[in-house]
Protein backbone atom coordinates (compact mmCIF):
# COMPACT_ATOMS: atom_id res chain seq x y z
CA UNK A 1 0.00 0.00 0.00
CA UNK A 2 1.31 3.45 -0.93
CA UNK A 3 1.36 6.08 1.78
CA UNK A 4 -0.34 9.41 1.04
CA UNK A 5 -0.23 12.95 2.34
CA UNK A 6 -2.74 15.77 2.03
CA UNK A 7 -1.77 18.93 0.19
CA UNK A 8 -4.08 21.91 0.69
CA UNK A 9 -5.33 23.65 -2.42
CA UNK A 10 -7.92 26.38 -2.68
CA UNK A 11 -11.45 24.99 -2.57
CA UNK A 12 -12.56 27.01 -5.59
CA UNK A 13 -9.64 25.67 -7.63
CA UNK A 14 -10.49 22.07 -6.71
CA UNK A 15 -14.17 22.63 -7.55
CA UNK A 16 -13.21 24.23 -10.87
CA UNK A 17 -11.19 21.11 -11.70
CA UNK A 18 -14.06 18.79 -10.69
CA UNK A 19 -16.54 20.79 -12.78
CA UNK A 20 -14.14 20.80 -15.74
CA UNK A 21 -13.78 17.01 -15.58
CA UNK A 22 -17.54 16.55 -15.30
CA UNK A 23 -18.34 18.92 -18.18
CA UNK A 24 -15.83 17.05 -20.38
CA UNK A 25 -17.22 13.63 -19.39
CA UNK A 26 -13.92 12.68 -17.78
CA UNK A 27 -14.68 10.02 -15.14
CA UNK A 28 -11.39 10.47 -13.25
CA UNK A 29 -11.33 11.54 -9.63
CA UNK A 30 -9.97 15.13 -9.33
CA UNK A 31 -7.40 13.86 -6.80
CA UNK A 32 -6.04 11.50 -9.48
CA UNK A 33 -5.80 14.39 -11.94
CA UNK A 34 -3.88 16.52 -9.40
CA UNK A 35 -1.43 13.64 -8.98
CA UNK A 36 -1.10 13.40 -12.78
CA UNK A 37 -0.45 17.16 -12.97
CA UNK A 38 2.33 16.90 -10.38
CA UNK A 39 3.94 14.08 -12.34
CA UNK A 40 3.66 16.14 -15.54
CA UNK A 41 5.43 19.03 -13.81
CA UNK A 42 8.20 16.74 -12.57
CA UNK A 43 8.64 15.26 -16.04
CA UNK A 44 8.90 18.69 -17.69
CA UNK A 45 10.53 21.03 -15.17
CA UNK A 46 14.08 20.08 -16.21
CA UNK A 47 13.70 21.38 -19.75
CA UNK A 48 11.14 24.17 -19.18
CA UNK A 49 12.96 26.82 -17.11
CA UNK A 50 9.77 28.85 -16.66
CA UNK A 51 8.47 26.05 -14.43
CA UNK A 52 11.42 26.54 -12.08
CA UNK A 53 11.15 30.29 -11.53
CA UNK A 54 11.99 31.45 -8.04
CA UNK A 55 8.67 31.79 -6.17
CA UNK A 56 10.05 34.19 -3.56
CA UNK A 57 11.02 36.64 -6.29
CA UNK A 58 7.38 36.89 -7.42
CA UNK A 59 5.77 37.03 -3.99
CA UNK A 60 6.20 40.38 -2.31
CA UNK A 61 5.54 41.06 1.34
CA UNK A 62 6.90 41.78 4.79
CA UNK A 63 8.40 39.07 7.00
CA UNK A 64 7.58 39.87 10.65
CA UNK A 65 9.40 37.28 12.75
CA UNK A 66 7.51 34.05 11.90
CA UNK A 67 4.54 35.83 10.28
CA UNK A 68 4.57 36.60 6.55
CA UNK A 69 2.38 39.53 5.50
CA UNK A 70 1.86 39.47 1.72
CA UNK A 71 1.71 42.64 -0.34
CA UNK A 72 -1.70 44.24 0.03
CA UNK A 73 -2.04 43.35 3.72
CA UNK A 74 -3.76 46.08 5.73
CA UNK A 75 -2.68 46.86 9.28
CA UNK A 76 -4.69 48.90 11.75
CA UNK A 77 -4.52 50.01 15.35
CA UNK A 78 -7.22 51.64 17.42
CA UNK A 79 -5.97 54.25 19.83
CA UNK A 80 -8.19 56.68 21.77
CA UNK A 81 -11.29 55.84 19.69
CA UNK A 82 -9.48 56.45 16.38
CA UNK A 83 -8.32 53.87 13.85
CA UNK A 84 -4.89 54.31 12.28
CA UNK A 85 -4.00 52.37 9.14
CA UNK A 86 -0.83 51.18 7.43
CA UNK A 87 -0.27 48.68 4.63
CA UNK A 88 2.24 46.30 3.14
CA UNK A 89 3.67 47.61 -0.12
CA UNK A 90 6.28 45.47 -1.85
CA UNK A 91 8.49 44.31 1.06
CA UNK A 92 7.72 47.13 3.50
CA UNK A 93 5.07 48.25 5.94
CA UNK A 94 4.19 51.80 4.93
CA UNK A 95 2.60 54.38 7.23
CA UNK A 96 2.03 57.95 6.02
CA UNK A 97 4.17 57.16 2.96
CA UNK A 98 7.21 55.97 4.92
CA UNK A 99 8.52 52.48 5.73
CA UNK A 100 8.13 51.45 9.36
CA UNK A 101 8.49 48.35 11.50
CA UNK A 102 5.46 46.91 13.34
CA UNK A 103 6.88 47.90 16.73
CA UNK A 104 7.64 51.43 15.60
CA UNK A 105 4.16 51.70 14.06
CA UNK A 106 2.44 50.83 17.35
CA UNK A 107 4.76 53.10 19.33
CA UNK A 108 4.34 56.00 16.88
CA UNK A 109 0.54 55.79 16.98
CA UNK A 110 0.39 55.62 20.77
CA UNK A 111 3.33 57.92 21.46
CA UNK A 112 4.61 55.41 24.01
CA UNK A 113 6.03 51.88 24.14
CA UNK A 114 3.45 49.33 22.99
CA UNK A 115 3.29 45.62 22.20
CA UNK A 116 2.72 45.46 18.43
CA UNK A 117 1.63 41.80 18.57
CA UNK A 118 -1.18 42.78 20.93
CA UNK A 119 -2.13 46.19 19.51
CA UNK A 120 -1.97 45.71 15.74
CA UNK A 121 -4.71 44.03 13.73
CA UNK A 122 -4.02 42.37 10.39
CA UNK A 123 -6.16 41.83 7.29
CA UNK A 124 -4.29 39.96 4.55
CA UNK A 125 -5.68 39.98 1.00
CA UNK A 126 -7.29 36.54 1.48
CA UNK A 127 -8.76 37.36 4.93
CA UNK A 128 -12.42 38.24 5.31
CA UNK A 129 -12.01 39.70 8.81
CA UNK A 130 -9.41 41.57 10.83
CA UNK A 131 -7.30 39.41 13.17
CA UNK A 132 -5.07 40.44 16.04
CA UNK A 133 -1.41 40.08 15.01
CA UNK A 134 -0.77 37.76 17.95
CA UNK A 135 -3.58 35.47 16.75
CA UNK A 136 -2.10 35.36 13.25
CA UNK A 137 1.32 34.58 14.72
CA UNK A 138 0.01 31.73 16.89
CA UNK A 139 -1.78 30.16 13.91
CA UNK A 140 1.50 30.11 12.01
CA UNK A 141 2.86 27.44 14.33
CA UNK A 142 6.28 29.03 14.55
CA UNK A 143 7.05 29.02 10.83
CA UNK A 144 6.54 31.11 7.75
CA UNK A 145 3.12 30.63 6.33
CA UNK A 146 3.54 28.28 3.39
CA UNK A 147 0.37 29.19 1.52
CA UNK A 148 1.26 32.87 1.43
CA UNK A 149 4.56 32.10 -0.24
CA UNK A 150 2.93 29.92 -2.91
CA UNK A 151 -0.06 32.10 -3.81
CA UNK A 152 0.23 33.94 -7.11
Give tens-digit pLDDT for 52-67: 665 545 678 999 988 9
Instruction: Determine the pLDDT at residue 148.
Output: 39
Q: Looking at the structure, tell me whether residues 75 and 125 fall in a common domain.
A: yes
Q: Looking at the structure, tell me whether residues 36 and 98 fall in a common domain.
A: no
Domain span at residue 35 reads: 11-52
Q: Average pLDDT for residues 9-38, to the nearest whole number?
A: 90
Number of folded domains that form the chain: 2
Residue 90 zone, left/alpha/beta (φ > 0; ψ -120 to 50; rest) = left
pTM confidence score:
0.56
Compute the radius of gyration of the chain from its Cα atoms.
20
Give yes or no for a contact between 17 and 30, defined as CB atoms under 8 angstroms apart.
Answer: yes
pLDDT at 144 over 50: no
Amino acid sequence: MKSCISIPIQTDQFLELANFLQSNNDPRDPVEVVSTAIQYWLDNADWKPELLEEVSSTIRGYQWKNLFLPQGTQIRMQYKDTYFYAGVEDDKIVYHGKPISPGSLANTIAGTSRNAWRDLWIKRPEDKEWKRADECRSKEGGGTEAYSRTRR
